[in-house]
Structures are given as structure tokens and as C-alpha cells.
């Protein structure tokens, strides 16, 4: 069973051989894990790290003292992160065996391997992004053409959410006006214009139809 309180980790770059591999850790144990497995270039244990700052050093197996790789590491402090949790990123050299060694070390010190899409799921559950923006992340990664990329990028920026929220607010305003005229009909309230009400409903209907027309 997945728990949001777990600290999770995953490879953020494409698997296989490459110049750089980035391992991301999210959760309250992120910084603690980094401090346990990271040593600076003078082989000193990490005492403190300022958020949003890259530091150079080595990933070390604390038990065997084996040097795994020289890396650049960074710590991003909540809530100004993708998941709104503490996040650590380890920039190592690419390579399947090397990445596997670092991930095993991270897991051994308190994290678990993230499920597919779990970082984005946490961003959604924390309110960092809405459901449409979460879907846009997947679309952006899978986009194969310039047009699909632009659509996904626009959705990720919240354009579709803003349009839907605008329609929602318009409908709520209409409902509020109707309810107020019913509930307070015996009081001195301006009469609700059927002409204006109809115009608003037609405008909202056209906006919804346009969204449905372009949904694909």
C-alpha cells in the first residue's frame, strides 16, 4: 500500500548508458539520506546544505567506505518544490550499474522506489497542480510533434484549467442570482433580467460546446 508519508526515489533521466543520470528523492527523509551517503570533495560528512545550491562531492557507502561516484547534489526545501515535499537530486554519471548502486544505497537508508507517476501524483495530491495539469505532464513527455507539444505545454501552464474555471464561475454566478431572486423575492431586490440571463447561458453553452468540439 502506497503511503504519502514514505520517502520515495527514482531515476529521473532515461535508463541506460549516458553522460549524466539524475536520481530524485522526495519526502521528509530526503536530506537525512543525502547526509548519510554524501561526502564533500575533502571526504567530510555533510554537516549542512543551503537549499537551491549545488554541492560537489562523492556518494559513499557508509558501511564499506566504498566510493560509488563523484556527483553534484542539491537540496530543494518544501513547499517550493514539485511535490511540495523536501526534494534531493543527485547528478551522477550515467550507467545502469552505477545508478542501481546509488538507488540501492538510497533505499537502504530509508527510501522506497517510486511507482510510475508517483512524483506527479504527489504534486496533484498536494495541490501543486490540478488533474488536468497532471495529465499534461504525461502528454508532454509522450508528445511526438510540435502541435502536441504546444497543446500539452499550454495545458501544463493551466490554460485549460483556467478556461474551465471561468465557465464554472460563470455558472455559479448565474445560480447565485437565481437563488437570491427566489429566496429574497419579497425584498427590495433588482429584478433578474431574463434577456441577460439567457445571453449568459447561451455564451456559457457555446464555451462548453467549443471545448467538446476540440477535446481530441
Closest by CA to 73, choosing from 94, 91, 96, 93, is 91
What would the pLDDT profile of 100-112 be if each residue is shown by its tens digit? Answer: 999 999 999 999 9
* End-to-end CA gap in the chain: 34
The strand pairing partners of 112, in sequence order, are 8
Q: What are phi and psi of 95, to 5 degrees?
A: 135, 130
What would the pLDDT profile of 69-90 be if each residue is shown by its tens digit? Answer: 999 999 999 999 999 999 999 9
- How much is the pTM? 0.69
Domains of the chain: residue spans and CATH = 8-128 (3.30.1360.120), 132-213 (1.20.120.430)
The strand pairing partners of 92, in sequence order, are 21
> Is residue 1 pLDDT above 60, yes or no?
no
What would the pLDDT profile of 173-197 be if each residue is shown by its tens digit? Answer: 888 888 877 777 666 666 677 888 8
Residues 109 and 92 sit within 8 Å (Cβ to Cβ): no
Looking at residue 86, what is its pLDDT? 96
Strand locations in 86-203 (E): 87-93, 112-113
Residues in CB range of 164: below 8 A, 6 or more apart: 132, 211
pLDDT level of residue 113 (50, 70, 90 thresholds): very high
> Is residue 156 pLDDT above 60, yes or no?
no
> Is residue 153 pLDDT above 60, yes or no?
no
Neighbours of 25 (CB within 10 A): 27
Amino acid at each position: 500500500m502506497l503511503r504519502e508519508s514514505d520517502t520515495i526515489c527514482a531515476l529521473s533521466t532515461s535508463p541506460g548508458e549516458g553522460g549524466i543520470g539524475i536520481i530524485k528523492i522526495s519526502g521528509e527523509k530526503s536530506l537525512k539520506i543525502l547526509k548519510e551517503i554524501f561526502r564533500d570533495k575533502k571526504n567530510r560528512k555533510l554537516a549542512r546544505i543551503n537549499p537551491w545550491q549545488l554541492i560537489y562531492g562523492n556518494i559513499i557507502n557508509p558501511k564499506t567506505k566504498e566510493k560509488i561516484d563523484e556527483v553534484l547534489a542539491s537540496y530543494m526545501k518544501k513547499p517550493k518544490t514539485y511535490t511540495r515535499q523536501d526534494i534531493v537530486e543527485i547528478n551522477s554519471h550515467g550507467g545502469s550499474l552505477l545508478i542501481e548502486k546509488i538507488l540501492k544505497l538510497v533505499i537502504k537508508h530509508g527510501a522506497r522506489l517510486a511507482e510510475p507517476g508517483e512524483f506527479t501524483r504527489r504534486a496533484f495530491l498536494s495541490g501543486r497542480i490540478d488533474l488536468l495539469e497532471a495529465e499534461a505532464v504525461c502528454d508532454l513527455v509522450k508528445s511526438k510533434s510540435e502541435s502536441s507539444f504546444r497543446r500539452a505545454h499550454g495545458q501544463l501552464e493551466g490554460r485549460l484549467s483556467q478556461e474551465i474555471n471561468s465557465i464554472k464561475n460563470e455558472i455559479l454566478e448565474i445560480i447565485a442570482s437565481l437563488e437570491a431572486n427566489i429566496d429574497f423575492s419579497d425584498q427590495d431586490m433588482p429584478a433578474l433580467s431574463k434577456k441577460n440571463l439567457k445571453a449568459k447561458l447561451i455564451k456559457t453553452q457555446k464555451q462548453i460546446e467549443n471545448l467538446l468540439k476540440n477535446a481530441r
